[in-house]
Amino acid sequence: QVQLVESGGGLVQPGGSLRLSCTVSGTIFGIYMAWYRQAPGKQRELVARITTGGNTNYLDSVKGRFTISRHNVNGAVYLQMDSLKPEDTAVYYCNDYPTSWSWGQGTQVTVSS
């Protein structure tokens, strides 16, 4: 059973930055990975995806502000978030893509002045 542990969230002012980390207990070699988020009262949505070769795709609203990356040897996935906006407030999760693993606990990101 693969376990996912997200970290790096917190409270940040609008325009600030955060770097989220995700540690995967199993291998991520050959696996597409992604970050998702769920805001209060909303469905979980795909934020960013990264292929095994490092190609990336982003939700339109985060393009140019967020950067997903991966470290296959360490079994880690990262999300650098810059120019944060209040609408980015959500619980952020990592998982494979398409999702097949159980969700981790996520990490709360709150953007507020």
Is residue 43 pLDDT above 90, yes or no?
A: yes
Please state, for a pLDDT cut of 70, what percent of the chain lies above it: 100
Instruction: Give the model confidence (pLDDT) of 49-74 as tens digits.
Output: 999 999 999 999 999 999 999 998 88
Q: Smallest Cα–Cα separation from 68: which of 48, 88, 91, 52? A: 48
* Six token digits for residue 89: 């407030």
User: Average pLDDT, stretch 13-22?
Assistant: 98
Task: Give the 3-state secondary structure percentages of the chain, helix then strand then coil, rounded to 5.
Answer: 5, 45, 50
Is residue 1 pLDDT above 90, yes or no?
A: no
Instruction: Give the model confidence (pLDDT) of 24-35 as tens digits.
Output: 998 899 999 999
What is the pLDDT of the chain when averaged over all its residues? 96
